[in-house]
Amino acid sequence: MADKAIRKWVADRPVPEFDSTPFVEAPPLSECTVAIVTTAGLRRDGDTGWGKQDASFRVFERAERDIKLGHPSPNFDRSGYAADMNVVYPIDRLEEMAAEGIIGGVAPQHLTFMGAQDETMNTMRMDTGPAAAKILKDGGVNVVILTPV
């Protein structure tokens, strides 16, 4: 049970803490356009690798499936993603839910960051995060599902 030890190891690590939580109500799910944002550090062949505490992000088109796991940490399972990307990046599940009318639609673009950032996450909060949010808003996204590894 490696994960229990890893969860214990990182439990007390500093994380960003906030005085309040922004909260808005979403339209009915059947009217929402949904995007995936993962911190799995996904990559395409030929992409620049993810450096230490790299706070940039990459954009994937809705139809893209040739996407690799690129996060450099050894402390999570990779074999699940290798067999079925949806266990991290549930793009096919979203397509099914859109076809069934459960969600309103699948966003035209989806994003990946890399987890394991410094505790301030300054670049992500002040620069790359807002830039990523603009891409999602421009794509008409109402709901984002965040999947860490």
Partner 1 sequence: MVISVLRNHTERIRPPRALHCEFPLGRPLGVPGEPAFQRRVLDAAFGLLKSKEGPVLEDFPEVIEDSADEPLSCAIPPRTDESLAPAIDEARGLRKAYNRALERNGRTNVGRLADADGIEGLLESLIKVANGEDLKEAGFPSGTIIEATKDLMSYYEEAASALVDHIPAARAAESWFFKETAAGAVLLEAKAKLKEAEWPAWMFITSMNQ
Which of 54, 96, 129, 135 binds partner 1 (CB under 8 A)? It is: 96
Binding mask 117-146 for partner 1 (x = CB under 8 A): --------------------------xxxx
Cβ 108 to partner 1 shortest distance, Å: 19
Residue 93 sits in the site that holds partner 1 (CB under 8 A): yes
Contact between residue 50 and residue 149 where contact means Cβ atoms under 8 Å apart: no
Closer residue to partner 1, CB minimum distance, 93 or 109: 93
Burial class (CB in 10 A: 0-12, 13-18, 19+), 147: middle
Q: What are phi and psi of 134, to 5 degrees?
A: -65, -40
Closer residue to partner 1, CB minimum distance, 13 or 63: 13
Question: Both tokens of residue 26?
Answer: 């979403």
C-alpha to C-alpha distance for 96 and 15, rounded to whole angstroms: 35
Contact between residue 74 and residue 148 where contact means Cβ atoms under 8 Å apart: no
DSSP for residue 19? S
- Candidate ranges 54-62, 81-89, 105-113, 127-135; the one touching partner 1 (CB under 8 A): 81-89
**Where do contacts with partner 1 occur on this chain (CB under 8 A)?**
1-7, 9-13, 15-18, 21-26, 29, 32, 43, 45, 49, 52, 65-70, 72-88, 90, 92-94, 96-97, 102-103, 143-149
